[in-house]
Amino acid sequence: MTQEPITPREPISLATALASFAEWWSPRIVTTVNDYDVRVAKVEGEHVWHVHDRTDEFFLVLDGELHIGLREASGERTVVLPKGSVFTVPRGTEHKPYAPVPTAILLLEPTGTLSVGDRHDEVPDHVDATSGHALG
């Protein structure tokens, strides 16, 4: 099933978009750019170890702080992204986001990309395995 692109005809306030839902780890699609979704999410606590085999994953921290555990060929490490920071997890890299405090993030991913990747550990109840929800 092909998802229709979301292309608003008016500017969108990210603060308003984030205020429109309460669920943690449940991204909302704000708009699309070519074949990519621009998603926002509220996050707190742990996500799940997962891998996107065919795409990178871009993170921008809008508020709060995001930690991303990475399992790389050289070993395991964690990157810390304070508010205003960006980071791209390369395709094929196992990673696990974690937010020690309530955090707002913006993600850029190809339309249809699952929030839990192509391969993942067991998905806990607080994580929404989705390709993104429409706003509103």
Around Cβ 129, how many Cβ atoms within 10 Å?
Answer: 14
Mean per-residue pLDDT, 114-118: 85
Short-list 18, 49, 9, CA closest to 133: 18
Amino acid identity of residue 87, one-letter, is: F
Predicted confidence at residue 29, as pLDDT, reads 95
Predicted confidence at residue 2, as pLDDT, reads 47
Predicted confidence at residue 10, as pLDDT, reads 85
Predicted confidence at residue 1, as pLDDT, reads 44
Amino acid identity of residue 50, one-letter, is: H
Around Cβ 115, how many Cβ atoms within 10 Å?
Answer: 25
Predicted confidence at residue 136, as pLDDT, reads 74
Tokens of 101: 């405090």
If one compares 94 and 114, the residue with the highest pLDDT of the two is 94
Average pLDDT, the chain: 92
Residue 3 pLDDT grade (very low, low, confident, very high; cuts 50, 70, 90): low
- Eight-class DSSP state of 25: T
Domains, the chain, in order of start with CATH, read 14-120 (2.60.120.10)
**Considering the chain, what percentage of its residues have pLDDT values greater than 70?**
94
